[in-house]
């Protein structure tokens, strides 16, 4: 097939040139016959056309006339050949012009040609490649920016507790404390800051694993309602100390899913922690219900809404709506990013909605269909 196309491309210009020569030669022969007939019937009357024919006959009988005759045929042949090949040549030149600009970095250019066949296919394919390359370039720039932001944020979040640890340990090392009570105070602060570092480093490792899908999920059949009840029970002390009432509204239906319980617990813990940390209301509500073939879990906190412009970014690494990276909350800024990655690994989806009254995190997980599920 490829050989046939190559032969086609090699032969077609020759064919067009031959057709051009035949058409021009035929035209000249026809013109000669017409002029001969005209001369035969009108030579006795004379006139401008007859004189022109006489001059042409005399000139053609000369050596230079014969050469000029053939030159004229050649010129007309190449003119007709150009007419045959004009669209293809114009399209080819257009492709060369635009690809030169693309090679110079202008990937917004597209090739638009009035042509059919393989040249049109070539132009369309170049446009597709250019678009893909443009998208890859954009994604690469975003990845580079994300990487730069990640390094900046990690450096900042590591430096903040590390500075405190070094500062207080420096005071202890230089014996700059009044008594054992103050020494104990400095040690406690350094210890708490070291735990913040541990949380950040562990979260970074976990996020890298789940996003690279290098983590192993130990999936089993889980009753989602029972899992949520256990998680809420574990938060009893935290609800009490924060003076928040944790309320649950669960469907009576059994919601069986196929999931890794440890990973899923981490995801819902992050959402509840987030609600406790940033909500300003008296309640934190958790709803669980069926919706088609999916189990839906809504974690709702009240007050302190998330601005609409911030919502698309809240699942990004280190993104904090309040823009304060020095808040001593013991968090790493990676909780929601980890949660989204865990939900995605379970073939689920997570979204957020916020208005003046409440903020809702909605988790959607596929229910286990025991009759049809082949896992």
In the chain the domains, ranked by start, together with CATH numbers, are 2-115 (no CATH), 147-211 (1.10.287.130), 220-366 (3.30.565.10)
**Does 373 score more than 50 pLDDT?**
no
Predicted local distance difference test score (pLDDT) of residue 323: 45
Instruction: Specify the pTM.
Output: 0.55
Which is more confident, 180 or 203? 180
Predicted local distance difference test score (pLDDT) of residue 319: 53
Q: What is the pLDDT of residues 298-316, one digit of tens each?
A: 999 988 888 877 777 788 7
- DSSP lists the bridge partners of residue 284 as 246, 301
The pLDDT confidence band at residue 371, using thresholds 50, 70 and 90, is: very low
- DSSP lists the bridge partners of residue 367 as 257
Q: What is the pLDDT of residues 179-197, one digit of tens each?
A: 888 899 989 988 988 887 8
The half-sphere exposure of 100 on its side-chain side, counting CA atoms within 13 A, is 6
CA distance 132 to 125: 10
Predicted local distance difference test score (pLDDT) of residue 372: 41
Quote the mean pLDDT of the chain.
78
Distance of CA 114 to the CA centre of its chain: 31
């Amino acid at each position: 097939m490829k050989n046939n196309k190559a032969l086609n491309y090699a032969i077609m210009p020759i064919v067009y040139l031959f057709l051009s020569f035949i058409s021009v030669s035929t035209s000249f022969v026809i013109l000669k016959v017409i002029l001969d007939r005209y001369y035969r019937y009108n030579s006795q009357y004379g006139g401008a056309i007859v004189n022109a024919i006489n001059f042409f006959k005399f000139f053609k009988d000369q050596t230079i006339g014969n050469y000029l005759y053939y030159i004229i045929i050649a010129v007309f042949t190449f003119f007709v050949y150009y007419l045959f090949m004009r669209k293809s040549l114009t399209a080819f030149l257009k492709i060369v012009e635009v690809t030169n600009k693309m090679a110079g970095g202008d990937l917004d250019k597209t090739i638009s040609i009035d042509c059919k066949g393989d040249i049109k296919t070539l132009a369309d394919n170049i446009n597709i490649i250019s678009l893909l390359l443009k998208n890859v370039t954009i994604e690469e720039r975003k990845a580079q920016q994300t990487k730069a932001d990640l390094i900046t944020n990690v450096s900042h979040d590591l430096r903040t507790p590390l500075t405190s640890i070094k500062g207080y340990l420096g005071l202890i090392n230089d014996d700059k404390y009044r008594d054992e009570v103050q020494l104990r105070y400095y040690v406690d602060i350094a210890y708490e800051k070291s735990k913040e570092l541990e949380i950040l480093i562990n979260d970074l490792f976990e996020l890298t694993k789940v996003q690279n899908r290098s983590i192993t999920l130990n999936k089993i059949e889980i009753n989602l309602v029972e899992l949520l009840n256990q998680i809420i029970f574990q938060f009893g002390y935290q609800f009490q100390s924060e003076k928040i009432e944790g309320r649950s509204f669960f469907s009576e239906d059994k919601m069986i899913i196929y999931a890794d319980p440890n990973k899923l617990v981490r995801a819902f813990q992050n959402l509840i922690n987030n609600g406790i940390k940033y909500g300003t209301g008296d309640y934190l509500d958790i709803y669980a219900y069926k919706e088609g073939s999916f189990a839906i879990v809504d974690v709702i906190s009240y007050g302190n809404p998330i601005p609409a412009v911030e919502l698309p970014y809240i699942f990004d690494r280190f993104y904090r709506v309040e823009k304060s990276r020095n808040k001593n909350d013991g968090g790493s800024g990676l909780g929601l990013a980890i949660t989204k990655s865990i939900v995605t690994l379970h073939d689920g989806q997570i979204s957020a909605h916020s208005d003046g009254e409440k903020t809702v995190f909605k988790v959607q997980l596929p229910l286990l269909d025991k009759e049809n599920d082949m896992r």
